Amino acid sequence: MTNPAPLVEIWRGPLAESLHSGHVVVCDHTGQIVFALGNPDQVILPRSSVKMIQALPLMESGAADAFGLGPSQLALACASHQGAPMHTDPVAAWLSELGLTDDDMRCGAEVPRDRDTKHAMIRAEGSPCQAHNNCSGKHCGFLTLNKHIGGGTEYVDPTHPVQIAARDAFESVTDMDSPGFGIDGCSAPNFATTMYGLARAMAYFAAADVDSSDKRESGAARLRQAMIAYPHLVAGDGRACTELMAAAKGQAAIKTGAEGVFTAILPEQKLGVAVKVTDGATRASECTIAAVLVRLGILDANDPAVIKRMTPRVHNWRGMDTGMIRPAAGLIDA
């Protein structure tokens, strides 16, 4: 078995102080690996990097159209958002349109990740609700599907029809049986796959045709388009997903997941990208996805949003430049 590969170096002065290792797979729409580091057969939990897959049953069932969901709502269904008003207001409106309330969600309350919203809540001595959960858009998607099919209230149960449909979609686009699942932070099952399976799934989304007669394929294309059209709904101000999608200028849908996972969908090249940093470090996963997308010609290494993630300087509390974060040689060398 191939070991994890060096991906990201942390330098202090003249010395490489720390090293993050992991796995990278880039796959084309035919299922061929075009670039890889580490082990393509490594089994991982992709976490929130696969919310677009979890939203596929919403599309192919006809639920999205039956409830008149627009692109902004589809982007929210794929989001790990900041809990800012730009996210929570449309989530609340979506629930109202379904005739449901915050109590009908099963994701759990989360303190807003948006700093201004969090501080305003503290000053008002308020409490977060489930709409503030970064996964609340995904759960609105689950609830929409659940209402469409007439399922029971516990839609996050792995045996519930909503999650059975999510697993079916997941195994279809990864082209492999999932070896198991873990329960994610939002209480929904998160199905495992290999790095290759994850990259292959993203390539499926990249090549999907919005005009296809196949409902799964057309749904995948619509979700991809929604993510690219509404990057601020997918994450939020200051977030890597949002800023790198903006820098890609329509060439990529990019999605983070907890514990060092990133995915990218590249429709013009019909490529899918999967990244996993073994120690789960966000600084390393952001550096890695930026470097891969620079390597593939999607991002400009000199773009400020790219520098911020791929080659940022490290400063101490006095503002002194003490070092830098940078991709390992194998990640950037042709």
> For each of the chain's 334 residues, which pLDDT tens digit applies?
579 999 999 999 999 999 999 999 999 999 999 999 999 999 999 999 999 999 999 999 999 999 999 999 999 999 999 999 999 999 999 999 999 999 999 999 999 999 999 999 999 999 999 999 999 999 999 999 999 999 999 999 999 999 999 999 999 999 999 999 999 999 999 999 999 999 999 999 999 999 999 999 999 999 999 999 999 999 999 999 999 999 999 999 999 999 999 999 999 999 999 999 999 999 999 999 999 999 999 999 999 999 999 999 999 999 999 999 999 999 987 5
Global pTM reads 0.97
Domains defined for the chain, CATH in brackets: 5-332 (3.40.710)
Residue ranges of E strands in 86-213: 181-183, 189-191, 193-194
SS3 category, 32? coil
Closest CA to 274 of 190, 194, 155: 194
d(CA 304, CA 312) in angstroms, rounded, equals 10
End-to-end CA distance of the chain: 24
Residue 2: its pLDDT value, please?
A: 76
d(CA 139, CA 209) in angstroms, rounded, equals 26
d(CA 153, CA 309) in angstroms, rounded, equals 41
Q: Which residue has the tokens 């700093």?
A: 115
**DSSP-based helix, strand, coil % in the chain, nearest 5:** 45, 20, 35
Residue 1: its pLDDT value, please?
A: 55
